[in-house]
Chain A
Amino acid sequence: MILEARGLTKRYGDFVALDGVSFAVAAGEFVSIIGPNGAGKSTLINLLTGVATPTAGTVRFKEREVTGIGSVALTRLGMARSFQLVQIFPELTVLETLEAAVVSRLGRGTRMWASLAGDRAVRDAAGEVAELFRLADKRHALARTLPQGDKKLLDVASAFALSPEIILLDEPTSGVSTADKHAIMEILVAAARRIGLQAIIQVEHDMDIVFGYSRRIIALHQGRVLADATPEAIKANSQVVDTMIGRARHPAAP
């Protein structure tokens, strides 16, 4: 098991956001987490990525307890994430954004006296990721000037530039047109294969994307795991279809 959640519970006062969620993700899996708004998806992502500390339960990454250790430490261990609301560096170029990730991965961030422009290893690795994500011809564009779809792509690309073993994508295609959604997913899957990513976990609302790409689906409802099965089994489960898909497709679509 590369990532394992055991009895994850998160309470905010009286409100129980997450209630004893357990699951495990093995190498080679592409897992989608679905659920209506308020089901606890974002809370779960925050607990898995070490941003928040659970009220109870543990997170284990590569057989190591990592509960609440924070994103910097988790990044170093090989976990990367992208954000639901796109996060970029507005005044950095595409290439600089990717270079920052590579610098961090190679542990060269404290080199104060070295020339970034002269660092071939960083430059080449960043250039490669730019190619993979079809951002190469925009490499010198400032991130803030990119169209929304490319910003989303850059957010994900910079997470990939960390060469992680596992990546958590919080709605990788939200806020993007339907045509672009599939393009993003195709790029993402190809890039994952290329960098030897072991597992992908995504939170996603778009059921076409969920059923089109996942090997396994975890359905959350009111802070609990309602179902954890293959896409086929999920489709056949009328209870899940009623609570999830009926609701998620219309009102929750961003």
Chain B
Amino acid sequence: MRGRLVLAGAALALLTAPLVVPTYQILLLLPFMAYAVVLLGLNLLFGYTGLVSFGHALFIGIGAYAGAVLTTHLGIRHLEAILLVSAVAGGIVAALVGLLCVRYVKIYFGMLTLAFGMVFYTFLLKFYRLTGGDEGMRVLRPLLLGQEFSDFGKTAYLAGPYYYYCLAVLALAALGMWRIVRSPFGLCLRTIRDNPLKAEALGVSVTRYRWYAFVISGVYGAVGGALLGPPTGNVDPTLAYWTHSGNVVFMTLLGGFSHFWGPVLGAFVFIYLQDLVMSVVPYWRLVFGAILAFLVIVAPGGLMGLFTRWTAPAADAPRA
């Protein structure tokens, strides 16, 4: 019950934030929401299927570059179209990459996803004509539901209409994932995570289901990636670099992968902590490394693990 109240409170805070919070903070919430979408998908693999992908920046890159190509090369600026194309492209690439990856587990799965991520990174870096190389590409301001919002300056657009658009996408993505993990399919994924041998004996086709989860998570990754582009107005190959994959895995661990909202909380804390630490000391990675080591040793359940201890297990705990 307390868990539900907190969720309602968080939703309310996000809805009213642009009215009360300084614009700078609002702009920080944009990448948070984009990453939250990515992480909902990543955690279907990680927390529910038991597969750790170290190459998820591949899908973030696909979504982000889809936005850039559509707005600058093809003159399509409708965000709905960008999200749709991202989702389809992410799904197709995940389907192909997944065919190979899901045959492996544990570190082999992780390394394969990493390898595919690197392939895509190199592609972005080397095919200047198409991708702009290390300079990257511009992402033009997208139309939201066909609206130009031409009266709005860049900041007002991002902190206003774009913010609410992202919030709506996040809400839909979360609702969709909530249904998926609580479906019969979601239960099958959890049997695979816990014991693939036994899952097979019960007739669950382990490889096929892992593949489904991989494709869904690729779609989420690309949609989240597409939302990352417009706030900076620019995309570059580092979006697809392996350290970026590391960041999203870190966010997941930070928030806690055994809880539905854990990774979302992780994204939130990560973004703000990064901003805070960077404003104080230049070497934020050092601080984050220490935090990660601390988490793994002291609180492997992440922040959500600490939180659920407080709300009592009756709340929507790690069950599903």
B184 with A108: CB separation less than 8 A: yes
Across-interface contacts of B183 in A (CB, < 8 A): 111-116
Which of B180, B182, B191 sits near A92, CB closer than 8 Å?
A: B191
Q: How far is the CA of A88 from the CA of B180 in the complex (A)?
A: 23
The contact size tier of chain B is: 20 to 34
A104 to B202, Cβ gap below 8 A? yes
Q: CB distance A91 to B318 under 8 Å?
A: yes
Q: Is the CB of B194 within 8 A of A111?
A: no
Task: State whether the Cβ of B164 lies closer than 8 Å to any Cβ in chain A.
Answer: no
Q: A87 to B200, alpha carbons, bound, how many Å?
A: 11
Q: Flag if A104 contacts B188 (CB, 8 Å).
A: yes
Q: Confirm or deny: A89 has a beta carbon within 8 angstroms of a beta carbon on chain B.
A: yes
- Mask for A55-82, Cβ within 8 A of B = 1, else 0? 0000000000000001110011000111
Let me know if B194 and A71 touch, CB within 8 A. Answer: no
* B201 in contact with A159 (CB, 8 Å): yes
Within B181-215, the residues touching A (CB, 8 Å) are: 182-188, 190-191, 193-195, 197-206, 209, 212
Interface residues of B in 246-292 (CB under 8 A from A): none
Q: Is B195's CB under 8 angstroms from A89's CB?
A: yes
Distance between A50 CB and nearest chain B CB, rounded to angstroms: 10
Checking B180, B198, B320 against A89 with a beta-carbon cut-off of 8 angstroms, the contacting residue is B198
Complex: A162 Cα to B197 Cα, angstroms:
16
Cα–Cα distance between A93 and B205 once the two chains are bound (Å) = 21
In the bound complex, do residue A80 and residue B201 qualify as a contact, i.e. CB atoms below 8 Å apart?
A: yes
Q: Contacts A87-B195, A89-B194, A90-B194 hold; do A103 and B184 have CB atoms under 8 A apart?
A: yes
Binds B, one of A36-44, A94-102, A128-136: A94-102
| CB-based contact A109/B185 at 8 Å | yes
Q: Given the complex of chains A and B, what is the CA–CA distance between A89 and B49 in angstroms? A: 12
Is B73 part of the binding interface, using a Cβ–Cβ cutoff of 8 Å?
no
B179 within 8 A of A: yes
Chain A: minimal CB distance from B19 (Å): 35
| B190 touches which of A92, A101, A117 (Cβ 8 Å) | A92
- Asked if A32 is an interface residue, CB under 8 A from chain B, the answer is no
Known contacts A83-B198, A91-B318, A92-B190: does B182 contact A104 (CB below 8 Å)?
A: no
Q: Is the Cβ of B204 less than 8 Å from the Cβ of A100?
A: yes
Chain A hits for B212, CB < 8 A: 110, 112
Cα A100 to Cα B192 with chains together (Å): 11
Expressed in whole angstroms, the Cα–Cα distance for A51 and B190 within the complex equals: 22
Q: Please name all residues of chain B whose beta carbon is closer than 8 Å to the beta carbon of A82 when the two chains form the complex.
A: 201
- Say if the beta carbon of A47 comes within 8 Å of chain B: no
CA A143 – CA B106 in complex, angstroms?
Answer: 23
Q: How many residues of A contact B (CB 8 A)?
A: 41
Whether a CB of chain B sits under 8 angstroms from the CB of A208 is no
Set of chain A residues within 8 Å of B179, measured between Cβ atoms: 112-113, 115
* 0 or 1 for each of B301-317: is its CB under 8 Å from A? (1 = yes): 00000000000000000
CB pair B188 A103 closer than 8 Å = yes
A114 to B91, alpha carbons, bound, how many Å?
21
Q: Identify A75's interface contact among B185, B187, B201, CB under 8 A.
A: B201
The CA-CA distance from A113 to B201 in the complex, in Å, is: 24
Contact A117 B201 (CB under 8 A): no
In the assembled complex, which residues on chain A have CB atoms less than 8 Å from the CB atom of B188? 100, 103-104, 109
Residues of B within 8 A of A117 (CB): 182
Q: A122 interface residue, CB < 8 Å from B?
A: yes
Is A119 positioned at the interface, with any CB of B under 8 Å from its CB? yes
Residues of A within 8 A of B199 (CB): 89, 100
- Cβ 8 A contact of B203, one of A89, A93, A104: A104
Establish whether residues B180 and A112, one from each chain, have CB atoms under 8 Å apart when the complex forms: yes
Give the docked Cα–Cα distance between A14 and B216 (Å).
47
| Docked complex Cα distance between A70 and B200 (Å) | 9
In the bound complex, what is the Cα–Cα distance between A81 and B195 (angstroms)?
15
**With an 8 A cutoff between CB atoms, is A105 at the interface?**
yes
Distance of A112 Cα from B209 Cα, bound (Å): 11
Taken together as a complex, chains A and B put the C-alpha atoms of A90 and B187 apart, in Å, by 13
Known A108-B184, A110-B185: A75·B194 in contact at CB below 8 Å: no
Across the interface, which residues of B come within 8 angstroms of A122, CB to CB?
Answer: 184
Which residues of A are found within 8 Å of B201, using beta-carbon distances? 49, 71, 75, 80-83, 87, 159
A94 to chain B, nearest CB (A): 13
B54 CB → nearest A CB, Å: 23
Rank and list the top 8 A-B pairs by shortest CB-CB distance, nearest first. A75-B203, A89-B194, A104-B203, A87-B198, A112-B185, A103-B184, A109-B188, A108-B184
6 A-B residue pairings within 8 Å (CB atoms): A83-B201, A100-B199, A103-B184, A108-B184, A111-B184, A116-B182
